[in-house]
Each structure stands twice: as structure tokens, then as C-alpha cells.
Structure 1
């Protein structure tokens, strides 16, 4: 059957998986096998058998490496024993704590535990309390838990802090050498109201070359990015810590930066009216949005203003309004930026780039850290303007590096796999979307579907399905293009303050401009290339050189840490939402089915943007079958279907703060009939399209009567025998196993320019580059 080495991934239901190092399919470990190992241990396993779906099941042969990092949990005292229940349920076992190793922590407090004895088949793990974090309800505790739970580095080394403290407070004469002086150019930063670091500034002016009607007309677009590489040098403590973090992590009310504050909010932040070092991407954009020429060069800039998205949108909407009056000197430049943006949008449409309208939320907290409200993040014209300017600079950076044939990290995004394409088509068909996908879908096809469903009530859910069908973007040395943006080459250049790949791209560009090559040095923290989930690395068949392997390892490390940051941020958001909904137990809300699983429906509440589970046992007194191809639950007796986009009315029944789960139950006892009449409940299948709510309600009642008569006849004809009821499987059941549930309602589920002037010698005009 074969032996494999890999890392253990625990499951909250007690079983687990081993993810092999070679990228093969994950190997299932039964609960008994998980007794001797813990989540994130490295093990060697032997495959014993395959289930009916061809999934491997294994046995642990050897434990290669035990997890060394502390485990976070709550201290409990039960049955005369001290123990810690891990906050991360994937560990599956409580940790015993000797009474002299509690560090005087109180019952219920959140603690960090170091293991002193690993688990075995016959004994639980033993540990000691290494750190007492505090009470679970302390302000900011959810963030303290998340940074430790996901092993996010949150403390800079003393060497890094000392190096940052030794940096100058302002620019020196030596810093200005061999740089273009752009301090009189009206570059501005445009960010959110709560932004603290400003790593990009923009400027545009009309550009005309030649004479007469055939002269080239367009715009000159400058994107200036903070020159972090001037201060963060390879091999120094600052660089080592930045590489280990790989990205800044954003939580509500708190940011864990990639760089110390002196850099992220000081020397490398393009604050207004302060001279800063930058790398500039200087582009010529024609009226059709094509980038005809570009060049990169180091510069000294001075941001003329710190603008917000809201402010710029107001200026663009009304050039005579109060916002425009307050920024009268900048209005012409903002209008030029808007003109460039409109031109770049033309090219976006021609490329067929995908543009989804999904709802992102922002949690607004009070001073105590409690949620005041959850509001949607709206993308306005200023957001899109900056986005297009950054995309243009990133594309130029990727093309510049590709033409130089220099190793670097590309931002690669691939389209749907064949399996996901087939599943997506089935889902779209079940939702009445007739558009079809080719065997090798293009971004244009995906975008055409996204546009076709605009205006439908379930458009947001369909856009989410389209987004989930595509693969996750990664950093890699192999350029495979960016599917979603429809670019043949794409990289990240515009955020070196908060993303390490951008810093590497800056180093490569500066080395290329100097006629040199940047060699990535091996690091003790460099990891093996990160494999894509369930697949192989998208690399050529020929073996890589040692240097290319280093670049690929750096890409894998940055990709993995990006996912880690996302998971930590989502975990904190989920905790805050659970805490918020705990105060609304028993309240009723309208919502929309956002996804369907074999064990129930996930519902997103209107206005609150909170998602929870309606377990299948809460759907009423009948059997429901899960149709995986159509992505829906269907009642066998009434034919009622629940699919993505269905409108429902639910009540908050249970909140599991530790599990980050919210359970709903359907509103019944007369309320459901009222909602059906109002068209807010799923209608029975088989009714004509124009059937009224009264006809639908009558159909449901008639089906109920027929079912009761049939049950009565069956009971009378078979005295002494009762119909066996299928056991209810909880949300943790493996997909596809649950087809029937108890026909009873339970109380809750188990889961849950400057002015325009000709460029002088100090402001070189971009040299045309071939766009082959």
C-alpha cells in the first residue's frame, strides 16, 4: 500500500488526516490512531486500505517530530484533576496539568501550555502552564488567542528593535544620491479613514507627443511606492523578522505589522508634507487604456496630501462641493487620475478580467472591544481608481522582470480544475443559469456569467460560487499568469511595507536597473516549497537549479503565511460575531441560504452579515435528501427544496463561542405558513412557475395529509412493528454519508504637477518597451 511522511491535521470530531509531503491525497486516521499523536505532529504512516470512494486510510508507524510550540486553552479543574481544554478543537485531547505546574492560574483563565509528556495510546498528554493570558472576556483576548493559536510572530527580536531604533529620523544627504527629485510633483496618497501606513502615492497628467492630429494623446501615470528595500537589507535582523512574518496581519482594532512601527508608520510611510524615498513606476497610458511605455527609477517624493476614499469619491461626484473646495489645488490632478482609471477600465473589459460583487464586512468595535455593529465595506470610485493604478504598476513590474529573465516571485492564480468546473456547471444549472463553460474556461466566460446574473436576488451567492470554483492565488517562481485578472504575467510590487514578496520584487528591480542580479540567500527559516492543496506544484518537468529552489521555497513560505494571516483574522472575526450573537439568543431574523451541505443549510442574516447553520433536523418533520450535483436539500414527502439563494426566516438557537459556531432553527408553528404566503420560504417542487402562494401552501398541506394517511395504513397493517428511524448525523459527518435524519425538531444542532511641464533631465520620460 505504501508508506508516507507528512503532517497531521486533526479534526474536531476526533479523527484526523496526514497530509503527505509529496502532495498526494490526505490519508485518513481513525480516532484510535489519533490518540498517540497531536495536530501538527510530523509522522510516517502506512496506507492500510481504501474506502469505496478511493480515499486512503492509514496507521501511524512512527512519530518523526513532535509539535514544540505552546498550546492555548482554558484551565479547568474536574474530578480532582487540573487540565487544559485546547482552544483549537483539532487537538482532540485535554492536557493534564500537575497541581504544581499551574503557575497559579485560576479556573477558567486562558493559558499557554508547554507539553512535558506526549500522548500515547494509553495516556493523555501532560504539560505545564507557561503563560497566563487572562480571562476569556478580557478586551482583546480573542486576538491574543489567535496570534498564539496560529503561531503568528507578534514580538520583534531585540536585535530587530535595536536596528530600527538606530535608523535616522529623516532623510540624509546620502539617501538622496542617484535619485530623481519628484518633491514638486503633486503626488497624493488615497487610503481608508483608519489607515496608518501609506505605501503608495499616485499622480497623473495629460501627455501629448508629436504635433498635429496624429499626435499621441493620453496620460502620464506615476505610482510611487515606499522604498523599503533601502532600509531593510538582506541578512540583517530587520530582514530576518520580516521574512519570518511574510505579511502584516490585520485584526479589528489591531495590526501586527511586518516591520517595526518606526518603519511601517515612519520612515517608509508616505506621510503628507514629508520627504520620503520611493520606487516609481512611470507609465504612459493611451486613451484606450494600453500602457504604451513604462520605466522604473528610485526617487525622492513629498506627498502633497493624505486623502481618503470617501473624500476623493465626493470630489469626483461634485467638483463644486465642499470637499472639492477644500482641495481646490488638487482637483485637476484627481480628475486626471479618474480619466486614466476610466481608460484602464476599457482594457479590463477587453481582457475579460473577472470582477465579482461580493460583500465584505467591517466590524466596528467600541472602546471595550465589543461589537457595536457590522457594516458592509462598499467599494466606491476611489477604491477602484487606486486598484487599477496598482494593477498597472504590478503588471509593469512583472513584465520588466520577465524581460530581464531574472528569477523572482510571481503572483499566480489559476482557473477552475476539471472537477470544480463540472461541479460549478451542475450548481449553475440547478440555479437556472443556462450559461455553459468550455473544457478550458477563460476569464471572459466566468465574467460573462457574473454579468448575466446581475440583478438576480441570488447574484451575490452565485458570484461567491464562481469565486470558490477558482484556485487560490500563490507566490511562485514559475510564471503561469493570473486567471482572475486575465494577465499573462503578474506580481506584487505595491505594498512592501506589509508584504515580503513585494520587498523581494523591489530588490530584483533595483538590481536589474543597476545591471546586476539579486541572489536570494539561503536562510535557516527557509522552508520547502509549499504544495498546493491536493495537488502538485505547477513547475516545469525539468529540475530546478539551487537558486530557483530557494525562490520557490520563499514563495511557498510567503503563500503559507498569507493563508495563516487570513485564518487568524477570520478566527477573530468569527469569535467577535459569536460573542455579538450570544446577546441575541431567541431573536428572529430573515436571511438567505449561502451554502448547502449534507448536514444542513448555512444562512447569512440580512443586515448583520452573520452566518450560521440550520441543522437538517431543524428543517421539519420529514426526510431530506442531499443532492450533491444540484447542491440542494429536498424533502421526499413535500418536495420542498432548499438551495443557494433561498429566503428563510430563522431564530438564533445556540452560540458556541469556543467552536466559533452559531446555530439557527427554522421559524415554525404558523410562522412558516405566513412566510410561505409572503414568498419568503422555499416553495414545493413541481408547481407551475406562476403558481400562487396559496396554491403552494395548499400543496404542502395536502402532502402532509397524504403522508399521515399512508403512515396510519402502514402502522395498522404491520402491528407490533415500528419503522426504524435513521440515526441523525451531525455536521461533522463525512460529506455524502447523511441522507436521512430523524423527522423531529431538536432544540439546536451539535455544530454547528505639479503643473504639466515637459520632463526635464531630472524627470526622465519613460522609454518605450516592447509589449510582446
Structure 2
């Protein structure tokens, strides 16, 4: 009888769970179960799974200090491919994955090496999961190159994120057919002819995929602004091979030293680009504003235009500063003056409706023949860039409003300040303005907050603090508020050569213009855009951070002036003003860890020394850690 009770007790302490494996830098791991605390997985069991695996387990002695996990089944393993360094020794060939939560080598059988050499960066595919074979095995599917090979930073990051870089022959064939029929399609279109209007384009020196052109006219009591966008959707048939590949890529990828176009280059650079002197099919956002820059009305329609002149940002800025312009472009002096005047109205108006700082600095990276950063130039935001930015923002707002009755659309939304930061920011704002808690909670009061901030002398620094604590914007299927920009709704309309969302928005607009019903055919497109844009952003940042680390390593003996841009329990996040390079200063390097008082996310006191957001001091590089993370020391 006593034995039966003990058996029953042990049985009651044994529970079945389904959860997700969380790896660590050590050999042990944890099981993440919804609604429960994470459960420790001992090294012997972790050797049978990968981080991220969904597994069924038995937890023995559940709820006691002796509880332990026994893995019963791997339900699903999402770890299929990874990047790492190929290693070879007397015992065989292996790869250590570049993934957090992995601490062991994966064996590469000799027949699956694919000519990889010791020290190569490679991409591998799992062929045997450790749950069945005890030791995982993989095959090399791509040899990326040596750590010091030309352009390896981009190749490595592209491979890690699985971004597409090559077009299959069928897409090239479809592209050739489209090009051969381009003139016939173009000549057969029936639309407004605006080729006599003085449309101009303003872009970077090396831009070849020109999406947009602008025309402005100042009348007696109003402004007329026409934004013309290349009508890509007229030529790219929905669900064609080109269309599906563009959807998969989602946008053009801009990396330091390399660009991966969303559309085939010959289409993007020649036939769809709004090149000077060429008649092109466009979609027009025709906007009327009062003399104070307030939008009065708008309409969308299909048209033909001819760009009369191609300007670069530098040309426009030079004209604004000096009044000088190339002789063949003098006819556009009034156009540029009008664009500048309207931009100033729109910028001033937007400053009191947006929490995003109006003054944003940028940096130009100059690369050498080895695709390494040779120099970084500080750039103040150009007036010419603001001219185009304001015109495009207004067109995007109008596009969002125009398609707002579409039951299945694509919009960008943003919901203000992070919930976890509201208390801290409330205390901060009360030091500067009359602040009420409701200002974080509804759109109308949030916009009123902008006006109160704008009246302060230090408005830009206050906005900088707020912008660092904003929730992330996200895609939605219906029009919603964009708190950070102060817009009732927002979407993307102005870059269809470089971004697929804009192609979808064009199809919705054109369907409404032509009184036709349109339904997006791509399944789960919101999740797709969200994931792909995250991958592209992380890939771009990875390459940039890697090259910045290489650059700063060559200047490790130089002192730089840096500014605190955020504070955590672990230290200070800083940014060097002259080159924009960011890094970290650990708490322990600033004083005794036992004498730390963190007042808020905006100030920390270490050994009675106060450190606040926007404080400046000199720093030097201390070390470069994993994933090119830069650690600095305060001087």
C-alpha cells in the first residue's frame, strides 16, 4: 500500500508539455512554455535538439528543485540553414553556426564539403537532426569566401538573411518579351497628356531608377503641386514571373558597396525610369493647397509626362545657395524657387504635427577599391532633399486617404510612445512643458503635445528623446493613425521601382480610378512585408556595422567627441558626431558598479558623476566584440 502511494506521488509529479527550445552560449538551454516559467534543459538533452525547435517533453519531478526535462519528440525544427566558418582538422570537417544559442560544431561529411577550405565562410543545410542521429550533420550549399576577400561583408550578410540576388532564365525571358513589346503597350495607352508641363526630377548623383518627378505652380490664391510616379503596374502584370520575384524581394536592397534591385535592372534603369526628355506613363497625385500650405483637395489620374530636366540634389542646393545654374537649366529657376517656397511652408507645418526631429544629420561613406570605408563625411540635411521629401510625404498621405475605403489595403500605422517608457517620459516632459497623461493616450492630444514642444527653444532635443522611445511602425490592412508623423493615415505610393508595396497601392488607385474592383492576390502579404523588410534592414545594418568596425579599428588611436543617445542598466549607448559611428561604454568602465544610481532612462549617476542624454565627452575605441559591436572607453 505504501509503495502504491509513492508510485502515485511520483506519477503526479510527471507532466507533459509542448514548448520551444531556447539555446544559450553554454551547453544548457531552456524550454519556453506558454503560461509557465522557462524550464531548465540539461546539456545531455540539449545535445539532441536545436535552438528554436518545437518539442514534446516529459518534465519529471515537476514543480520541485529536482525537476528535469526528457525530450519525447521533435514536432518541428525551423533550423534548416545557417552561416558559419568552415573548420577542418584531423577529426574531420565542421561548421560553428553564427546563431545565438549554438555552442557546438555541426559535422560536414567529406562528400558534402563543396570545395570549402579551412577558414571559409559557408552556408550549410542540415541533413541529419541530432534527435535521430545524436550528432547533427549538414552539407555546404554555398562557399561565401575568405574573411578578407573582396566584398565578403555583403555576401555574408546576404547569405545569412537568404536574400535573392539572381534571376532565373525564365524571368530574363519574360523581361525580354516585355521590353520588345514596351513601345506597343506605351503607345496604346489612353491617358492625359501632360508632356508640355515643366516636370523635373531631383535625385542623387548616381541614381538611375528614377521613380518620381514634380511640377509646381503658384497661382493667385493657391498652390498646385503635381507628383508624377512611374506607372510600373501598367507594365508588370500581376502574378507574372517578374511580379512574383519582385514580391519575394519586396524592395531594392541598398548595402554599402552593393545594390540588389527589386526589378530587373534593364526595366528599372531604362524603360520604367523617368529619364530626361522621354515620354513616360505615370500616375499623378494632383494636389491643390492654400497659400499657407494647407491641403485643399487632391485627385489621382493616369497621364503621360516628359521630364524636362534631371537635377541632382547638389545642383539644386548650389542654386539655392548661390543663385547659379547651368545655362541649359536656367528655364527652371522659377520652378525651383517655387518648390523651395512650398517646401518651407510644408516643413514648418509638419514640424508642429510630428514628433520626429526636423533636423536630421546624415553621413556619406566613401569606399576604396577594396569596398572598405576610406572616409566618412558629415552631411547636414540638404534643402533639395527636403523639397522632394515633403512632396512625397504629401502624396503618400493623399494615397492613403484615396484607398481608405478599400477593405483589403496596405497602410503604415504607428501608436506613439512605448508603454514601458510613458512614466519616465511624463516626468521628463513636465520639466519642460505643461504635460498631461492624456497626451500619450489619444491622437488629438498627442498632436497638441507637438505644438507645446515646438514652442520650446530645445524642441529638437526633446523630440530626439521622444523619437528614441517610439513604438515601431507596422503594416495594417486598413487606414490607421500614424502618431509619430501626426498623420491620420499613411501608405507608400512614390517608389514602385524600388518597393513592392507601392505597386500594390498603384493597383488599388488605378482600380478605383477606372471603377473596377481590386483584391490583393498575395496570401498573408502583411506578414510577408513585415518579415522581408526586417531581414533587409538587418542585412543592411550588418554590412554597415561590419565596415564601420573595420574603419574604426584603423583609427583606434584617435579621440572622438561622442554624445550619449541612450542609457541602460549596463552602460551608455554613444554616437560619434563626426562620423555617426555608434558604440557602448559599459557601466564597469565608468566607476564602481556598487555605486550606481539610475535615476531614469535619461540619467544615471556613477560614483556621484551624472551622465545624461545628449551629454558629450571624448572617447577612444576599446575593443570590437561579436557581430562587430563596438566598445569605447570614456576619456
What TM-score range do you get, normalising by the shorter chain? 0.7 to 0.9
Corresponding residue number in structure 2 for 1:372: 374
Matching residue within 162, 166, 190 for 2:177: 166
Match of 1:561 in 2: 532
Structure 1 residue 226: deviation in Å? 0.6
Q: Give the 5 Å matches for 1:299-314.
A: 299-314=303-318
Tell me, what secondary structure is at the counterpart of 1:345?
Answer: helix
1:438 and 2:458 are equivalent in the alignment: no
3-state SS, counterpart of residue 331 of structure 2: coil
Contact in 1 for aligned 2:367/2:373 (Cα 8 Å): yes
Structure 2 residue 249 is matched with structure 1 residue 203: no
Q: Does 1:650 align with 2:612?
A: no
User: 2:629 maps to what in 1?
Assistant: 661
Partner Cα separation in structure 1 for residue 555 and residue 111 of structure 2: 41
Q: Show the counterpart of 2:8.
A: none
Q: Quote the residue 2:576 is aligned against.
A: 605
State which of 245, 250, 258 in structure 1 corresponds to 2:249.
245
1:381 to 363, 377, 383: 383
SS of equivalent residue, structure 2 residue 600: coil
Q: Is the 8 A contact 1:415 1:471 kept in 2?
A: yes
Aligned-partner Cα distance in 1 for 2:446–2:495: 26
Q: Does 1:272 align with 2:283?
A: no
User: Secondary structure of 1:577's match?
Assistant: helix
For residue 135 of structure 1, what is the aligned residue in structure 2?
146
Shift of residue 377, structure 1, vs aligned partner: 4.0
Q: 1:266: how far off?
A: 1.8
Query: Kindly tell me: are residues 109 and 174 of structure 1, through their superposed partners in 2, closer, same or farther at Cα, counting changes over 3 Å?
Result: closer
What SS is found at the alignment partner of 2:266?
helix
The CA deviation string for residues 105-146 of structure 1, in whole angstroms up to 9 with x for no partner, is: 221111111112223499553212222121111121111111
CA contact (8 A) 1:118 1:125 kept: yes
Tell me which residue corresponds to 1:316: 320
Task: Determine if the alignment matches structure 1 residue 288 to structure 2 residue 289.
Answer: no
Equivalent in the alignment of 2:555: 584
Whether the 8 Å contact between 1:354 and 1:444 is mirrored in structure 2 is no
- Please report how far the alpha carbon of residue 82 of structure 1 lies from its aligned counterpart in structure 2 after TM superposition: 2.4
Q: State the partner residue of 2:4.
A: none
CA 133–468 in structure 1, closer or farther in 2 if over 3 Å, else same: same
Mapped to 2, the partners of 1:259 and 1:49 lie a distance apart of 58
Aligned to 2:468: 468
Q: Go from structure 1 to structure 2 and tell me whether the alpha carbon gap of 1:300 and 1:35 turns closer, same or farther (over 3 Å shift).
A: farther
> Aligned pairs, how many?
610
Contact 1:427 1:629 in 2 (8 A): no
Give the drift of 1:332: 1.4
Shift of the alpha carbon at 1:159? 2.3
| Contact kept? 2:41, 2:69, Cα under 8 Å | no
Q: Residue in 1 aligned with 2:347? A: 345
TM (norm. structure 2) is 0.86
SS at match of 2:487: coil
Residues 168-206 of structure 1: CA deviation (Å, up to 9, x unaligned)? 268524424211112222111111223221100000113
Distance 1:631 1:473, change over 3 A: same
Distance 1:561 1:172, change over 3 A: same
SS in structure 2 of the partner of residue 73 of structure 1: strand
Which digits, 9 at most, give the CA deviation of each residue in 1:413-452, with x for residues without a partner?
22114323223335667xx656635234244355357646
Asked whether 1:113 is paired with 2:117, we answer: no
What residue ranges of structure 1 are gaps of 5+ in the alignment? 52-56, 209-216, 527-552, 668-772
Give the drift of 1:512: 1.0
Distance, in Å, in 1 between the alignment partners of 2:49 and 2:584 is 31
C-alpha deviations, 1:454-508, integer Å up to 9, x for none?
559xx65x54431132221122112212112212122111111111111111001
3-state DSSP of counterpart to 1:439: helix
Provide structure 2 residue ranges, at least 5 long, that are not aligned to the other structure.
1-14
User: Which segment is superposed worse, 257-266 or 586-595?
Assistant: 586-595
Contact 2:573–2:583 (Cα < 8 Å) also in 1: yes
Shift of 1:269: 1.0
Partner of 2:331: 329
Matched, 1:258 2:258: no
Counterparts of 1:561 and 1:194 in 2: how far apart (Å)? 26
Change (3 A) 1:3 1:121: same
Q: Per the alignment, in what secondary structure is the counterpart of residue 554 of structure 2?
A: helix
**Shift in alpha-carbon separation, 1:171–1:624, aligned structure 2, 3 A:** same
Q: Does residue 227 in structure 1 map to residue 195 in structure 2?
A: no
Structure 1 position 314, deviation (Å): 2.1
How far off is 1:590 after superposition? 3.2
CA contact (8 A) 2:212 2:495 kept: yes
Aligned-partner Cα distance in 2 for 1:14–1:172: 63
SS where residue 160 of structure 1 aligns? Answer: helix
- Whether the 8 Å contact between 1:191 and 1:308 is mirrored in structure 2 is yes
CA distance in 2, matches of 1:271, 1:27: 60
SS in 2 for 1:279: strand
Q: TM-score w.r.t. structure 1 length?
A: 0.72
1:258 Cα deviation from its structure 2 partner: 1.3
Q: Judging changes above 3 Å, is the alpha-carbon distance between structure 1 residues 294 and 590 closer, same or farther for their aligned structure 2 residues?
A: closer
Query: Retained in 2: the 8 A contact 1:49–1:58?
Result: no
Q: Find the aligned partners of 1:19 and 1:286 in 2 and give their Cα distance.
A: 58
CA contact (8 A) 1:598 1:626 kept: no
CA–CA separation in structure 2 for the residues paired with 1:205 and 1:254: 38
The whole-number CA distance in structure 2 between the counterparts of 1:605 and 1:335 is 35
Contact 2:93/2:110, CA 8 A, preserved across alignment: yes
Q: For the residues of structure 2 that align with 1:102 and 1:423, how far apart are their CA atoms?
A: 54
Cα gap change, 1:354 to 1:3, in 2 (>3 Å) = farther
**1:507-532 Cα distance to aligned partner (Å, 9 max, x none):** 0111111111112225xxx3xxxxxx
Which residue of 1 is the match for residue 541 of structure 2?
Answer: 570
Distance of aligned partners of 1:266 and 1:574 in 2 relative to their CA distance in 1, 3 Å threshold: same
